[in-house]
Amino acid sequence: MAKSTQAKYFCENCGSEVAANARFCPHCGRFFSSVRCPQCGYTGSVNAFKKGCPRCHYAMTPEDIFGSSSDSAGTDKKHSKEKKIKKRASRGGSRETAGDDVPVWLYIGSLSVLILFLCLVLFRCGII
């Protein structure tokens, strides 16, 4: 009898499990634009991953998700798979904080507008 498989989704930023239809991570707030397979690295839409990776067909079995009660070696295997998933997710790039996504020019532009506004207010008040 063939084992049924179910796709399981993780945040690349913090590694926590997220719902299949989540647009952002409830733990760290990272926005998801696509899904990346932890096995082969293929990236695509959520709909393409409904039954696992369309390229390598990677998907977790119910034993991987809920654990096997028959032996303790299954739990060791489960933990090693989780470590591999987190390790592969961390290879995607250094995305430790949400501030990394904001370009520097945006900070410079905002600061310039703020200084200009402050000078205008001070000029109108007669201080400058």
Model confidence over 24-49: pLDDT tens digits? 788 888 877 677 787 787 888 777 77
Quote the pLDDT of residue 111: 96
Instruction: Provide the residue ranges of all domains of the chain, joining segments of one domain with +.
Output: 7-66
Look at residue 99 and tell me whether its pLDDT is greater than 50.
no
CA distance 38 to 64: 14
Q: Are 9 and 58 in contact (CB under 8 A)?
A: no
Structure-token pair, residue 50:
């409904």
CA distance 95 to 100: 7
Residue 61: half-sphere exposure toward Cβ, Cα within 13 Å: 11
CA distance 67 to 10: 18
Residue with tokens 């739990």: 75
Quote the pLDDT of residue 96: 47
List all residues 6 or more positions away from 45 whose beta carbon is below 8 Å from its beta carbon. Answer: 34, 35
Q: Which of 60, 54, 69, 70 is nearest to 3 (CA)?
A: 60
**pTM recorded for the entire structure:** 0.35
Residue 15: half-sphere exposure toward Cβ, Cα within 13 Å: 12
Structure-token pair, residue 12:
């690349």
DSSP letters spanning 54-73: TTT---B-HHHHH--SS-SH
